Amino acid sequence: DAKTTQPPSMDCAEGRAANLPCNHSTISGNEYVYWYRQIHSQGPQYIIHGLKNNETNEMASLIITEDRKSSTLILPHATLRDTAVYYCIVRVWSAGKSTFGDGTTLTVKP
């Protein structure tokens, strides 16, 4: 699986959009981008995934650059409950396992 690079920490004001970047410059054509988050003392939670088109669901939006070398997870209106560690992962669809890095700790502040 291609390696991902994320900033170790970010802050965001409550009610504002949180934009979490991920660099995956060595991504292959058949690798998808996945995002998970982990709230303290819980298991990680799946958020969203995409290949090359932008994706949106009830939790977030995923924007993937045209060259697919980076992506951004957007939480449109961050709340205090969005404070968590966010993991960006790339993996082949049929790979089975996912490789997690150390993620970005997002702190949403009132």
**Residues at the interface with another protein (CB under 8 A):** 32, 34, 36, 41-47, 49, 85, 87, 93-94, 96-103
| DSSP codes, 56-99 | E-SS-EEEE-TTSSEEEEEETT--GGG-EEEEEEEEETT-----
User: Whole-number minimum distance, CB 16 to another protein, in Å?
Assistant: 26
User: Whole-number minimum distance, CB 99 to another protein, in Å?
Assistant: 6
* Between 29 and 43, CB nearer to another protein: 43
**Residue 32: strand, helix, or coil:** strand
User: Whole-number minimum distance, CB 96 to another protein, in Å?
Assistant: 4
Report the distance separating Cα 42 and Cα 22, nearest Å. Answer: 23
